[in-house]
Structure formats: structure tokens, C-alpha cells
């Protein structure tokens, strides 16, 4: 089921924070129903493998609690977070029942701290395996070539011997090139993972997240761990079922002015007008997660009209050329920054980054400033 995202309002509703209130002007709206619907799409593609959910980094900026509850209602029972603190927040939202896996492992925490919140660590070293020593359910991360977290191949056999009697429930790894379908490293990591997982025959196996779904059932194993796809983007250029973006960002026009040919715009006078234009200053900037790299290359959408950024994105203000919008450009009107006309993938391309950074930047800034709205 695809969940439609409502059109952006042309003026801020009374229930949303306004610029007269302490919150920042920019609004980040999150749609938990879209997250749940996306999980359903992924689960159908993954079957018969189980489908979990990565809700680390505050659910990729979408709000951990709201996302976790929506996913649980959709049927998700396996959740992945990065840290103990995220795990505690997830358990508070989910209550008893679902499994919550802490990807960073113990990370200096005592086993009792995880047990108190019914959390299960993903262990990454022989030392952590020894420290956990049967305290409860756990997972083992095998490093198959990414050289980030995980147990190196030289330690796999020793880990199997050391864990005799309290074997992991789950064995996982992480693909370095999942978004590149023809990358030889995918097959190499898959082969190494099969070799390592064979040492733990009773454990569930998990190898891929969102982009890896496009690699096919051979890679799906027993459990897939989507993250980005839950929030509306596969992270792969392969043909996959449509997803629904779960975040929209808008900002109000604060001031409008007419400029003439040759006038400069913004800090550093990095843009000079080549003809008379109508400029609008909107209430969003890099403090709101709108990346400064969008300067002179990004745009907003006003009633569907594309309005290019002129000059540099500053801390909480950005200037758009709204000439093409004509009378629709007026103070108080909300401008779409992320939504039906501007996807996270497009913003990522324009700012030379990835959709993950776009969403987590908007989400983190909104969460700290009170500008995130759960729709």
C-alpha cells in the first residue's frame, strides 16, 4: 500500500510552530504511515526472509519513537539501533516483545546495562564475547571485508570455540558495495560470509540492508535490515518497487525584494543578478540542516514552481529567486525544500552527498529546535 504525502500548506497551520514562537521557522514533517507502508513493500520483496528495521540515528532523522511504533504496528519484530541510549529509547517506545539489536555492541557498557533494558548486543570482538558470556541473546558481526566494525576473519574459528554453549542467535555482516550491483566485492563478501556463518549453524543470517535488496534472494539470507528504504529511498539504481518518502521540509518567506541587474546577493557577494528579479528570503539555513553546499545550486518549490537559490545558504536564512512564481510569492507563504517536487536523492545530488545525510541533517536540527511535526 502506497501512502500519499499531503500537499504542503501555503501558510503555516495553527497547530504548527510559527516564527513568533521559540522554535525555528523551518518545519520538518514526518509521516509514520509512510514508514509502515514502506516496511510492507520491503517485507513482500524479502520474503521468505524476515524483515527488520534500522532505526538508528533517531530513525534517520524521522523520530525514533514514532517510527518504531509505526513499524511494530506493521508487524516488524527485529529492530537495529547503534547505541545503548538508542536501545533504551526504542525499548521504551516498543515495550516488551520485539528484539532490539545494538549494532555498536557493548561499546564500554556493562552487560547488566543492556540486560536491564532487554537489549541484545551485536558483538564485534573476542573480548566482548568473553565479557558477555551467556548474559542473554546476542549477535555476532563478521567483518567480511569492510574493515569497520566486526570480527576479523582470523578470529572466526576462535570465536566459535569461545562461544561454545552460548552461541549467537544472529550472525551478520555488512556489504561495502551493496549499491553497485556488479561490484565483484559483493560476491566476495557473500562467499566469506557463508564460510563464517557455517561456524554458527543454528544462528539466523543477515547480510543486507536497503541497497542490498536489489542483489536478490541469495543475499537476503534469513533476515534483511532495511534502513534508508523504510524512509522512502532504496539507495540503489536498480528497478525496485516504489516507496513513499516519509519526510517533508518547508520554510516560510520572511521578506521579498526586487533587485536590479548587477546587484549582489548574500555573503561574499557570490551571486550577481544578470537581470532584474524578485528575491525571497526564507527561514531556513544550515542550522536547520539545509546544507551550505546547496549555495547557488539548489532550489525550493513554491506551489510547484522551481525557485533557484541565489547566493550562499547562511545559518538560518536562504535567498531564492521567486520571479517565476509571480504573485504566489508573498510573506508567510511556505516554500517546499523537501517533498513532492524535491526528493532527498535530488538534494543529495545537488549538494554532493547522499540521502542519508540530507535526512539526518534535517531531522537532527528539527528535533533539537522543536520543529519536527509528526503527521
Active site residues: 56, 267
Q: Which residues pair with 271 in a beta bridge?
A: 265
Separation CA 339–CA 156 (nearest Å): 46
User: Would you list the DSSP string of 239-300?
Assistant: --------EEEEEEEEEEEEE-TT-EESGGG-EE-SS-EEEEEES--GGGT--GGGTTT-EE
Q: Read off φ and ψ for residue 302, nearest 5 degrees.
A: -115, 105
Is the separation of the CB atoms in 206 and 170 below 8 Å?
A: yes
Given the DSSP bridges, would you call strands 334-338 and 139-141 parallel, antiparallel or unpaired?
A: unpaired
Separation CA 88–CA 93 (nearest Å): 9
Alpha helices in the chain (DSSP H): 32-46, 56-60, 64-74, 84-94, 111-116, 126-132, 156-162, 184-197, 217-220, 344-350, 355-369
Which residues have a Cβ under 8 Å from the Cβ of 241 and sit 6 or more positions away? 41, 44, 45
Separation CA 5–CA 356 (nearest Å): 20
Strands of the sheet with 78-81, listed across from one edge: 53-54, 78-81, 99-102, 120-123, 139-141, 170-172, 204-206
Is the separation of the CB atoms in 258 and 276 below 8 Å?
A: yes
Q: Which three cell numbers stand for residue 12?
A: 503555516
Separation CA 121–CA 115 (nearest Å): 10
Q: Which three cell numbers stand for residue 65?
A: 519513537
Separation CA 336–CA 206 (nearest Å): 38
Separation CA 318–CA 279 (nearest Å): 10
Is the separation of the CB atoms in 291 and 284 below 8 Å?
A: no
Amino acid at each position: 500500500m502506497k501512502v500519499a504525502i499531503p500537499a504542503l500548506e501555503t501558510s503555516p497551520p495553527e497547530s504548527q510552530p510559527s516564527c513568533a514562537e521559540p522554535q525555528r521557522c523551518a518545519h520538518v514533517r514526518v509521516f509514520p504511515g509512510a514508514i509502515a507502508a514502506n516496511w510492507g513493500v520491503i517485507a513482500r520483496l524479502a520474503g521468505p526472509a524476515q524483515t527488520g528495521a534500522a532505526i538508528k540515528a533517531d530513525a534517520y532523522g524521522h523520530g525514533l519513537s514514532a517510527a518504531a511504533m509505526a513499524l511494530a504496528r506493521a508487524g516488524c519484530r527485529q529492530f537495529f539501533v547503534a547505541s545503548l541510549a538508542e536501545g533504551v529509547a526504542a525499548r521504551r517506545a516498543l515495550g516488551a516483545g520485539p528484539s532490539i539489536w545494538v549494532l555498536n555492541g557493548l561499546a564500554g557498557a556493562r552487560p547488566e546495562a543492556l540486560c536491564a533494558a532487554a537489549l541484545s548486543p551485536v558483538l564485534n570482538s573476542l573480548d566482548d564475547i568473553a565479557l558477555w558470556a551467556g548474559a542473554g541473546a546476542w549477535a555476532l558481526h563478521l567483518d567480511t571485508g569492510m574493515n569497520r566494525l566486526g570480527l576479523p576473519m582470523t578470529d572466526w574459528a576462535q570465536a566459535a570455540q569461545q562461544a561454545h554453549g552460548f552461541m549467537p542467535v544472529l550472525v551478520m555482516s555488512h556489504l561495502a558495495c551493496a549499491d553497485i550491483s556488479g561490484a565483484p566485492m559483493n560476491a566476495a563478501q557473500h562467499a566469506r560470509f557463508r564460510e563464517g556463518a557455517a561456524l554458527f549453524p543454528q544462528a539466523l543470517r543477515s547480510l543486507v540492508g536497503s541497497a542490498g535488496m536489489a542483489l536478490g534472494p541469495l543475499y537476503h539470507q534469513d533476515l534483511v535490515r532495511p534502513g534508508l528504504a523504510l524512509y522512502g529511498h532504496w539507495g540503489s539504481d536498480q528497478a525496485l518497487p516504489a516507496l513513499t518518502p516519509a519526510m517533508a521540509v518547508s520554510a516560510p518567506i520572511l521578506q521579498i525584494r526586487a533587485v536590479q541587474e548587477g546587484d549582489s546577493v548574500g555573503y561574499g557577494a557570490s551571486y550577481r543578478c544578470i537581470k532584474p528579479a524578485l528575491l525571497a528570503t526564507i527561514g531556513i539555513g544550515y542550522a536547520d540542516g539545509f546544507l551550505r553546499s546547496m549555495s547557488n545550486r539548489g532550489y525550493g518549490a513554491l506551489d510547484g514552481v522551481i525557485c533557484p537559490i541565489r547566493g550562499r545558504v547562511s545559518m538560518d536564512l536562504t535567498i531564492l529567486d521567486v520571479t517565476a512564481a509571480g504573485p504566489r510569492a508573498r510573506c508567510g507563504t511556505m516554500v517546499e525544500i523537501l517533498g513532492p517536487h524535491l526528493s532527498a536523492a535530488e538534494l543529495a545530488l545537488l549538494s554532493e552527498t547522499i540521502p542519508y545525510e540530507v535526512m539526518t541533517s534535517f531531522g537532527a536540527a528539527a528535533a533539537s529546535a522543536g520543529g519536527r511535526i509528526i503527521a
